[in-house]
Amino acid sequence: LRRPGLPGVPEATAGDKAELSEARAGRRRRAAAPSPAPTGCGAAIVPRPSRPAGRARSQRRVPWRRRRRSSPARPRSAAGTAGRDCIPRRAPRPPRRGPGAPPRPAAGRPAALALVTLLSFASRFHRLREPPHVCWDETHFGKMGSYYINRTFFFDVHPPLGKMLIGLAGYLSGYDGTFPFQKPGDRYEQHNYVGMRGFCAFLGSCLVPFAYLTVLELSKSLPAALLTAFILIFDTGCITLSQYILLDPILMFFLMGAVLSMVKCNSCADRPFSASWWFWLSLTGVSLAGAMGVKFVGLFVVLLVGLNTIYDLWDLLGNLSLSLVMFGKHLLARVLCLIVLPLALYTAVFAVHFAVLNRSGPGDGFFSSAFQSQLIGNNLHNVSIPEHLAYGSVVTMKNLRMAGGYLHSHWHLYPEGIGARQQQVTAYLHKDLNNLWIIKKHDSDTDLSDPSGPVEFVRHGDIIRLEHKETSRNLHSHQHEAPLTRKHFQVTGYGINGTGDSNDFWRIEVAGRRTGELIKVLRSQVRLTHVATGCILGSSGKTLPKWGWEQVEVTCTPYLKETPNSLWNFEDHINPKLPNISLDVLKPSFAEILLESHMVMIRGNSGLKPKDNEVTSKPWHWPINYQGLRFSGVNETDYRVYLLGNPVIWWLNLVTIGLYLLITVATAVALKRGVQLTSELKELSRVVLHAGGQITLGWLLHYLPFFMMGRVLYFHHYFPAMLFSSMLTGITWDALLKFCAGLLSPSTTARRVYGGGFLALVLLILYSFYLFHPLSYGMIGPLASNPSSPMAGLRWMDSWEF
| Residue 522: strand, helix, or coil | coil
Tell me whether residue 670 or residue 794 sits nearer to other proteins (CB atom). 670
Identify the residue among 384, 676, 749, 799 touching other proteins (CB under 8 A).
799
Q: What's the min distance (Å) between Cβ of 60 and other proteins?
A: 14
53, 190, 275, 314: residue in contact with other proteins (rule CB under 8 A): 314
Q: Which of 44, 443, 708, 787 binds other proteins (CB under 8 A)?
A: 708
Residue pair 576/568 in contact (Cβ under 8 Å)? The answer is no
Residue 496 burial by Cβ neighbours in a 10 Å radius (0-12, 13-18, 19+):
exposed
CB of 15 to other proteins, least distance (A): 35
Mark the segment that binds other proteins (CB under 8 A) among 77-85, 199-207, 400-408, 556-564: 556-564
The candidate with the shortest Cα–Cα distance to 547, out of 435, 421, 430, is 421
**What would the x/- binding string for other proteins be over residues 322 to 361, using CB under 8 A?**
--x-------------------------------------
- Residue of 702, 735, 718 whose CA lies nearest to 258: 702
Where in 376-483 does DSSP place strands (E)? 384-386, 394-399, 406-413, 423-428, 437-441, 463-468, 474-481
Query: Near other proteins by CB under 8 A, which window of 208-216, 665-673, 688-696, 718-726?
Result: 665-673
Contact criterion met (CB below 8 Å) for 784 and 249: no
DSSP-derived 3-state class of residue 169: helix
Question: Applying CB under 8 A, which of residues 99, 444, 546, 748 lies at the interface with other proteins?
Answer: 546
Q: Is 416 in the site for other proteins (CB under 8 A)?
A: no
672 binds other proteins (CB under 8 A): yes
Task: Choose, by CB under 8 A, the member of 2, 183, 514, 673 that binds other proteins.
Answer: 673
Separation between Cα atoms, residue 424 and residue 426, nearest integer Å? 6
Cα distance between residue 493 and residue 795, in whole Å: 60
* 189 or 798: CB nearest other proteins: 798
C-alpha separations of 187 from 129, 163, 246, 432, 497 in Å: 12, 21, 17, 36, 55
Q: In this chain, which stretch among 37-45, 448-456, 596-604, 670-678 interacts with other proteins, using CB under 8 A?
A: 670-678
Tell me: does residue 2 bind other proteins (CB under 8 A): no
Closest approach of other proteins to the CB of residue 309, in Å: 16
CB-based contact 227:733 (threshold 8 Å): yes
Distance in Å, CB of 615 to other proteins, minimum? 4
At 98 the three-state DSSP class reads coil
Contact between residue 693 and residue 266 where contact means Cβ atoms under 8 Å apart: no
Residue 182 or residue 786: which is nearer to other proteins going by CB? 786
Closest approach, Cβ 560 to other proteins, in A, equals: 9
User: Which of these, 220, 138, 258, 291, lies nearest to 641 by C-alpha position?
Assistant: 138
Does position 183 interact with other proteins (CB under 8 A)? The reply is no
- Whether 86 and 45 have beta carbons less than 8 Å apart is answered as yes
Q: In the complex with other proteins, which residue's Cβ is closer, 347 or 627?
A: 627
* Residue 798 within binding range of other proteins, rule CB under 8 A: yes
Around 372, how many Cα atoms within 13 Å sit in the side-chain half-sphere?
A: 20
Residue type present at position 475: L
Q: Pick from 53, 320, 325, 585: which binds other proteins (CB under 8 A)?
A: 320
Give me the phi and psi of 783, to 5 degrees please. Answer: -65, 160
Residue closer to other proteins, measured from CB, 256 or 316: 316
487 lies in the binding site for other proteins (CB under 8 A): yes
620 scored as a contact of other proteins (CB under 8 A):
no
Give me the least distance between CB of 558 and other proteins, in Å please. 8
Window 744-783: residues binding other proteins (CB under 8 A): none
Given the complex with other proteins, which of 87 and 320 has the nearer CB atom? 320
Pairing of strands 463-468, 506-510: antiparallel
User: Which helix or strand (DSSP H or E) is residue 707 part of?
Assistant: none
Size, binding site for other proteins by CB under 8 A = 25
9-12: list long-range contacts, CB under 8 Å, 24+ apart. 9/223, 9/754, 9/755, 9/758, 9/759, 11/104, 11/105, 11/108, 11/222, 12/221, 12/222, 12/223, 12/738, 12/754
Q: Does 470 bind other proteins (CB under 8 A)?
A: no
Candidate ranges 111-119, 156-164, 445-453, 668-676; the one touching other proteins (CB under 8 A): 668-676
Give me the DSSP letters along 350-368. HHHHHHH--B--TTGGGS-
Q: What is residue 650's three-state secondary structure?
A: helix
Crossing angle of helices 590-606 and 341-356, rounded to 10°: 90
Per-residue b/e over 593-630, b at no fewer than 16 CB within 10 Å?
A: bbebbeebbeebbeeeeeeeeeeebebebbbebbbbbb
Which of the ranges 111-119, 216-224, 376-384, 672-680 carries the binding residues for other proteins, by CB under 8 A?
672-680
Amino acid at the residue 473: R
Is residue 710 a contact residue for other proteins (CB under 8 A)?
yes
Beta bridge partners of 425: 409
Cα radius of gyration rounded to whole Å, the chain: 33
Closer residue to other proteins (CB): 293 or 538 = 538
* Whole-number Å distance between alpha carbons of 291 and 285: 10
Nearer to other proteins, 71 or 799 (CB): 799
As a whole number of angstroms, the distance between CA 759 and CA 751 comes to 12
Nearer to other proteins, 583 or 629 (CB): 629
Residue 339: CB minimum distance to other proteins, A: 19
Among 454, 674, 746, 787, binds other proteins (CB under 8 A): 674
Residue 317 touching other proteins (CB under 8 A): yes
Q: Compare residues 255 and 418 and give the one whose CB is closer to other proteins.
A: 418
Compute the least distance from the CB of residue 543 to other proteins, in Å: 14
Question: Applying CB under 8 A, does 443 fall inside the site for other proteins?
Answer: no
Please count the other Cβ atoms lying within 10 Å of the Cβ belonging to residue 61: 10
Pick from 4, 75, 177, 558: which binds other proteins (CB under 8 A)? Answer: 558
Nearer to other proteins, 444 or 635 (CB): 635
Question: Cα–Cα distances in Å, from 646 out to 14, 480, 799?
Answer: 33, 58, 15
Of positions 318, 534, 607, 793, contacts other proteins by CB under 8 A: 318
- Kindly write out the interface string for residues 522-541 of this chain, putting x where it contacts other proteins by CB under 8 A and - elsewhere: --------------------
Does position 801 interact with other proteins (CB under 8 A)? The reply is yes
Residue choice 411, 559, 714, 767 for contact with other proteins (CB under 8 A): 559
**C-beta of 485: minimal distance to other proteins in Å?**
8
* Residues 54-113 close enough to bind other proteins by CB under 8 A: none
Minimum distance from residue 440 beta carbon to other proteins (Å): 29
- Spell out, one character per residue from 488 to 527, where the chain touches other proteins: x when CB under 8 A holds, - when not: ----------------------------------------
**What pairing do the DSSP bridges indicate for beta strands 506-510 and 437-441?**
unpaired
Which residues would be at the binding site for other proteins (CB under 8 A)? 314, 317-318, 320, 324, 485, 487, 546, 557-559, 612-613, 615, 627, 669, 672-674, 708, 710, 785, 798-799, 801
